[in-house]
Structure 1
Amino acid sequence: MSENASSPRTLPWFAQPSARTWRCEPAPADVWGFHAALPGYSPTPLTELKPLAEELGVGRVFVKDESCRLGLPAFKALGASWAVHRVLAERGSSGREPGPVTLVTATDGNHGRAVARTARLLGQHAHVFVPQGVHPQAVAAIVAEQAKVTEVEGPYDEAVRLAAQAATGPDAVLVQDTAWPGYEQIPGWIVEGYTTLCAEIDEQLAYEGATQGPDLVSIPVGVGSLAQAVVTHYRGRASGRAPALLSVEPETAACVLESLTVGEPVSVTTGDTTMAGLNCGTPSSIAWPYLHSGLDAAVAIPDGDSTRAAAHLATLGVASGPCGAAALAGLRAVLTGEGADERRTALGLGPSSVVVLLSTEGPAANPHSTTDH
């Protein structure tokens, strides 16, 4: 079932009824333990917001607040730390010289800062490429991590291309959070790192009395790496409830929604959006099979919806940027307006359902906030 945006009043939306029965291999069991052993680790808050449950007509709504993760204002440190750990372990087991390496990446802010922070803490070097339009505060934050920064006169995809070109030689490694044919192992490790977030949610929900887990998880999506991690966690379990999984993108960069609609990965031309970290034109190659089979639904939203959602979350005590607030904005769009009853049914939501919104970053991370880069 799908609806395309044929008019301003038609919600850009796609749903598939078979996703909750699809299964995949689970993430490695030792990822959460690795993060738990890091200095400064603690689970990020899972905050119940009763006014949202009343507004949305469900039983309970929780927000996973990633505004401070391992000392950084977004969830990205989970993927960067695990991937760099795996990179260095692989280099050590291959007998290479133990000298420092340069970790190279492209970013709109948070991923690059996470890679730079990890490099600094481990005595490695970092070289970060940033596309045009990234706020100077985000660039300054990366520089403060002692990374070399190259500013690119072009969009994110161009920054990725140049970063890949720069990561040559035996002492440089590309640590990129999107994959393409021929470059998939390290992005896969980054995705594995993100699954710690979901493991925390399950434990926190059990503490809150929701022992069967969520009925729906709403996920901001750029290239799809975080969504792949969420699908892997909830579709990789042999037992337990299989929640509905909803992806949320900007209307100006809905590459996952468009790909789901046509049934194969496609690239779209992106435009300007305040949800800068979701401003992605092509799904990650390793994420696509998981998104194609494991997402229940996808929706695209305008900037104004995420801005209003961020403001509303702030009044409820949750600090979220436009990308993180997209999870609320997308679910609001789905559960209101013409066709809302059919969409609610497609997601299996009722008056007792438990919903989790992934607020992936805080507002101070970058005025043009970043999620999937």
Structure 2
Amino acid sequence: MKVLRIDLADRSYDILIGQNLFGTLGDRVPSLAGLRRAVIVTHPSIRALYGPALEAGLKQAGIESRVVEIPEGEAHKTLASAEVVYDHLMKSAYDRNTLMVALGGGVIGDLTGFVAATYQRGVPFLQVPTTLLSQVDSSVGGKTAVNHPLGKNMIGAFYQPRAVIIDLNTLKTLPPDEFRAGMAEIIKYGVIEDPDLFQYLEDNVDAIQAQDPQTLTHIIETSCAIKARVVEKDERESNYRMVLNYGHTVGHAVEALTGYTQFKHGEAVAIGMVAAARLSHQMGYCDAATVERITKLIDRYGLPTALPEFPARAYIESMYRDKKAREKKIRFILVHTLGKVEIVDAVPEPELEKVLISK
């Protein structure tokens, strides 16, 4: 088992990466001591696969648990779904000593964290991500949220978990498209901060797609370590943490314009990374070879690279509604070279339009 520590003073916690971790939670997560009740939030299909093992692990730690099921899909990361969880907590008289457990992908993690942050002004929670994307991204760093029809993650809070439990066995049942979606975020880490990781992804496509355990452990651990360093520098995204949004400005617009139903989050981010790379070259930040390497790697992992056909104006208006926009200025993460990016606070609309309408 690998253990990574996120150092945030009294909000510090561990990320555990390994196999067969559920059965010994009490031994592995000391901060669970003293908790006696838990509510696991998950999808029906994930509950069938991993619910019994997780419930048994919690029971071994002296914690009795119940389950609340939420339908799958980004379209269910809403205040209405949060209310379903609140209703269960209220009707069963759960108090502030209740542990919320997110068992699932990014939707479940974000939703459960949001409920944990807001129920009785905050209860402890545990991230148990079961998708590659959530293991390397959304489960780490304490960003919780639900979506609004006009924008993604617009209603949320910064709220850190007690621990993140990454059991690699959960990837064995992950559908191929979900695995590909997770690879988008790992590619992102290579672009923004680690050219060696990017090269490793180029050199080990076959082993990674075959889910070789040693290779998977390396890329997951490296990705989590990068995110941990970024979060430690800027927990509440005042500035530096925004580098993690590379590809997300356009990606969130793609999700919003398609009603959160056509693309998985990682697929939308992949499209956004290509668009941001092309914009970087167009504005003189990087050379054409960098754009080609990014685009080619994304394509080699079976991810989309082309923008859906919406008017440029529709994309721009969606970006203005994004929470990263400031004072009617659209913020982008642009690439200089692999491993070096820059936060650009105001990309001119004419430059954006060229990228959004070109093929």
TM-score (norm 2): 0.33
TM-score (norm 1): 0.32
Structure with more helix by fraction: 2
Whose relative contact order is higher, 1 or 2, with alpha carbons under 8 Å and at least 6 apart? 1
